[in-house]
Chain A
């Protein structure tokens, strides 16, 4: 009988350190499946962020680099320019990509670097204990917004994907979510497109994944998925942005 579901070759068979209900493990696996399906495991180079996914390279089984906090797209630029024959992607959280690394993000996109960006938006800083992120929703309580995020002191949630879509060199941006099996399948399709674009030399491609953080949202995993569906999507609508 043919085996139709198996462990991806690009994913090491070990337990992750992620909390119950966290989206990182799901996206790690999706990336591993896509890398296997596109047959690029031997030429892919991943760039891991600083944040909860800092040791993503311990889970993927292909070449990877770390990057200082926010600098993933500068590191990826260096790798891709030196080795254009390789497939280079970054995996970054909202604090990494849209706060401390905003400059590197915008300029790599504006140069049209032919790389793939997987952007995990969980509206919070996970690794450091649940502080406000640039994507934290208005009213959302975090360690550093104990009364909830409010416009006057903290500004609006940052829609960086919409900002990036304004740049002529950006070729593909899609926002997806992990809140249901259907949406997770769409997430995989978008990530596959973003990798295929690089293989086809189309240019800068980014997938923003709305992902849950039950621990710092202070919710059970099921409720956290519902919160994405009922609250997050209002601020961050799903679909193809560019």
Chain B
């Protein structure tokens, strides 16, 4: 497999990663700051033999993904915060019908129409169901263009493995910035050869009993039973799929916790503090759901302090507090609505701890 180096935006890297991971169906609706992803797909996906549809709405896009996935496709859509709110109905149905799907959210400022600046204010929506009902999506948070590209393979694999929606939670900064990307050649076919068979898919009932894709259980007790099987699946995902990256945890007294592009700024702050002889460390959750609780429980010492840094007013903060469970002090630094905590602000707030 030949590899080449290109300079590319996060949005385009995500699209290329998806195509190479075997995505054959994309439907999306224009919204900033993720438009480069849709535009790239409109050119690249048909070239790779897939289907691109610019849908009439976010609702239509996510329901087209529902249909394509029901028919066995590796299907995806992408959007940004206000559009993600509209997609929640469909994501709930996808979770309820146990369909795999990949949904990309390049987050922007909210609430409402907000603005088009980067933000991390949709953490709750992504990790706490978002739509109606007791379900979870797997939530992956890339922090570089390279990781965003690689993560598309993982997202489709996990979605297929667990028959569940997987959300890529990036932000406008990641979507818009260009970075060098090591990319597999287009001819290599990426991960397609590893595709699982889907005996449950709607393909016509030749030689088998009819398949039904549904989330509706009318007989008393059936829905509760189905929910218990979902919960069992979520437990398995929590046990098997939590991922994180860490830095200097062995001797750290102050541990920064940040994800996505925010983690890059936090990492710079940690390196800066280390140069000054301060025992700083970093936990960067890669999966936001399942949340990597072990990263915290493994290194729990009473003299540790955590500083959670987010482009929101404290959403992942709640998961960190649940993981730490009162056994260490958890502080918070956050800005949103276009504001991004700077390295300087991080170091300044640490000096107050």
Contact = CB atoms under 8 A, between A and B. Distances in A.
A56 to B, nearest CB: 10
A42 B56 CA distance: 31
**Of listed B27, B63, B67, B70, residue having the most chain A CB within 10 A:** B67
A83 B69 CA distance: 11
B59 interface: yes
Interface in B186-238: 202-207, 210-216, 218
Contacts of A111: 53
A43 B206 contact: yes
Contacts of A75: 63-64, 66-67, 70
A74 B67 contact: yes
Chain B interface size, under 10 / 10 to 19 / 20 to 34 / 35 or more: 35 or more
A61 B55 CA distance: 31
Nearest to B206: A42
Interface residues of A, number: 36
A62 B202 CA distance: 9
Contacts of A83: 71-72, 202-204
B51 interface: yes
A45 B60 contact: no
A79 B25 contact: no
B64 A78 contact: yes
Interface string B60-97: 11011111111111010000000000000110010001
B24 interface: yes
A196 interface: no
Nearest to A75: B67
Given A68-B63, A68-B90, A78-B70, A55 B218 contact: yes
8 contacts: A45-B71, A71-B66, A74-B64, A77-B64, A77-B67, A78-B67, A82-B51, A82-B73
- Nearest first, the 10 closest Cβ-Cβ pairs linking A and B are A78-B67, A74-B63, A78-B68, A75-B67, A43-B204, A107-B56, A42-B206, A71-B63, A78-B64, A66-B214
Interface of B: 24-25, 27, 51, 53, 55-57, 59-61, 63-73, 75, 89-90, 93, 97, 202-207, 210-216, 218
